[in-house]
Structure 1
Amino acid sequence: MKKLFIAAMLFVGLASFAQDMDQKPARDQKERMTPEQRNEKHLKKMTSELNLDANQQTQIKQLLAERSAKVESLKEARKAKKESNVKPTAEEKAAFKKQMDEEVASNDAKMKAILNADQYKKWTSLQEEKRDKVREKMRERKDENN
């Protein structure tokens, strides 16, 4: 009886481990894309969702390139701080949050200038849906960790 129970536990453990292995490659694939590839993919998605014309595509492509360059520089700065094991102070965190809010507002204003009223309205609703999905994933991860 003990051997049967141990064999069953071993099987369940291996099956759950195999499921975890199946889920990781999709994440690794996403991380391997270059910033240019991500920008192209994002531009194609926006073009199909918002029916962008050629001029709008050019402007948004430039905006995405600028944004990804800023993100890469912020990632490098964050990585350097993390490697030095220096925890950010409350003031640094507040300054970073303010900087990110300004970036979001700037990006929003630029998109509003590029898109027409209907496209902008649809873009803002898509952004809100995206934020909701991220919040939901964060809640799920928090629940998993607790």
Structure 2
Amino acid sequence: MKKLFIVALLVVGMTSFAQEKEVRPERAQMGQLTPDQRNQLQLKKMTLELDLNASQQKEMSTILAEQSTKREAKMAERKANKDSAKKRLTSDELFAKKSQMLDEQIVMKERMKKILSLDQYKKWDDIKGKRHNRIKKRMAYHQNRKPTKIGDKK
């Protein structure tokens, strides 16, 4: 009787692990969209969150298009580097890469300050900070394989 119970538990456990994981529908659909469609959806989302007017929407659409082309170029570069021999960056290369990324973030913040009103900018910065914390938690979880406690810092 005891062996039968253990076998039944094993069968139930194995069948539950054998089932396919459900892929998030948003992510699967986002991969099928063109870059222009993704930019439009992102602009509409920002318009709803920040209550952008028509001129702000026009300026944001150009910024989103620029970011999208940069992102696509970086992804293509990463794929090309991934196929080649895996090498670790030297400290100088790593410093240059991080410095460039931070410079781009500074320029983006300045552009956003020019486009958005003070209230809109504060709201945008808050949303960006929350999104950054979520990504940070997710990365920490996957690296450590255990949940981490990260405060609501910006």
TM norm. shorter chain > 0.5:
yes
Q: Which residue of the partner structure matches residue 109 of structure 1? A: 110
Displacement, 1:134? Answer: 0.9
Q: SS at the partner of 1:119?
A: helix
Q: SS at the partner of 1:37?
A: helix
Structure 2, gaps ≥5 residues long? 148-154
Which structure's residues are more often helix, by fraction?
1
Distance 1:29 1:144, change over 3 A: farther
Letter in 2 for 1:39: N
Separation in structure 2 between the aligned mates of residue 54 and residue 97 of structure 1, nearest angstrom? 34
Deviations 1:24-83 (A, max 9, x none): 253433333332222112111110111100110010001000011011111111111111
Alignment pair present for 1:9 and 2:10: yes
Q: Percent identity?
A: 35
Deviations 1:79-115 (A, max 9, x none): 1111102413232222111111111111111111111
Letter in 2 for 1:114: I
Separation in structure 1 between the aligned mates of residue 18 and residue 37 of structure 2, nearest angstrom? 32
Q: Which residue of the partner structure matches residue 28 of structure 1? A: 28
Letter in 2 for 1:106: V
Q: Which residue of the partner structure matches residue 130 of structure 1? A: 131
Distance 1:81 1:46, change over 3 A: same
Letter in 2 for 1:136: K
Separation in structure 2 between the aligned mates of residue 4 and residue 34 of structure 1, nearest angstrom? 53
Q: TM-score, normalised by structure 2?
A: 0.82
Q: SS at the partner of 1:28?
A: helix
Give the alignment of 1:62-141 within 5 angstroms: 62-87=62-87, 88-141=89-142
Higher RCO structure, 1 or 2 (CA under 8 Å, sep 6+): 1
Separation in structure 2 between the aligned mates of residue 31 and residue 12 of structure 1, nearest angstrom? 33
Separation in structure 2 between the aligned mates of residue 15 and residue 48 of structure 1, nearest angstrom? 40
Q: Which residue of the partner structure matches residue 151 of structure 2? A: none
Which is further off, 9-18 or 80-89? 9-18
Separation in structure 2 between the aligned mates of residue 34 and residue 134 of structure 1, nearest angstrom? 24
